[in-house]
Amino acid sequence: MTKMTYAEALREAMRQEMRRDARIFLIGEALGGKQQGIFKVTMGLQEEFGEERVVDTPISESCIAGAAVGAAIFGRKPIAEIMFGNLMALCADEFHNQAAKFHYVSNGMIKVPVMIRCVNWGRLVSGPHHCGNLDPLITASPGIIALAPATPCDAMGLMRAALRQDDPVIFIEHSSLYAISGEVPDQDYTTPIGRANVIREGTDVTVVAYSIAVQDAIKAADRLAEEGVSAEVIDLRTVVPYDKRTILDSVKKTSRLVIAYEGYKTYGTGSEISAMVAEEAIDYLNAPIIRAAQADVPLASNKVMVDEISLSQGKVYEAVKRCME
């Protein structure tokens, strides 16, 4: 086992897969040169693989996504980086209408093995156009796999797994996760796509989360344990397709469900999971399903308002307390 940060795990996974598969190349803004990636995720890769496989582009998200999707259709495996998750709106036609649909409109003849890495910025002051996420738009694009690891181990494992298959993937990262550290196996491994991870077992309430919200759920569970509440925490890891069976098995055991996710509460991932559990396991519930998420307003340009509307471990804790009542 080796200890590394989330950013280092992503970089090492991409480096190893680029050495293994010559079709893989990176494309995005300031990936090399002096910047080396805004979060240094791509640091050193341009020096190792050259400018033809680590391609710096002008500031044009639609161009980055379009070039990546086109290259994938013609046999390459691009990894496109979109620096701000909110700017995925500029790529919507490329991933929603093109990458997600070519398999269907070609009767399976055309594969689009493209990956788009998008970085969700939240809980910091960077303005409403940069901070936030468009996860609901991504998850409402049939044909797209959406991955959102919460740990360095899963960041590496899911990156490898995604690059070893041929379907279009959106890899959802979070700016607040890049610096966290964790143990990563030394051997070649992959994290299964479509399988959640029960990272903390419990008996009183199920808390489902993904990405940065997993960290909130763990901290809330620790606090709840001191008060005698046993929370089971499930890390989705894969948002599309998500692991229904693990969620349902847990809810049938605990009879209560809280879903924590960073993003707007309405029409978010929590709404989908709530509806699924209500359809398939409502007879097991002893309390209403509770969603803990961001308020349905854009993130502001001052810290007081950002803290007020953003998800936090305190808000997950409060959601579980309401569910227990």
Residue the block writes with tokens 């002096």: 34
Question: Strand locations in 83-134, DSSP E?
Answer: 115-120
Determine the Cα–Cα distance for residues 286 and 212; give it in Å rounded to an integer: 28
- Cα–Cα distance, 325 to 61 (Å, whole number): 46
Angle at 18 between CA 12 and CA 24, to 5 degrees: 130
User: 65: closest CA among 90, 33, 34, 41?
Assistant: 90
Distances (CA, A) of 275 to 221, 235, 244, 256, 267: 24, 19, 12, 14, 11
Catalytically active residues are 130
Token pair listed for 93: 């036609």
Helices (H), strands (E): how many in the chain?
Answer: 12, 14
* CA distance from start to end of the chain: 42
Give the residue among 256, 243, 238 at the shortest CA–CA distance from 167.
Answer: 238
Largest Cα separation within the chain, whole Å, is 59
**Phi, psi values for residue 251, rounded to 5°:** -65, -40
| Cis ω for the linkage preceding 241 (within 30 of 0) | yes
* Distance of alpha carbon 188 from alpha carbon 150, whole angstroms: 19
Phi/psi for 245 (5° steps) reads -60, -45
Q: For residue 99, what is the enclosing H or E element?
A: none
Amino acid residing at 29: E
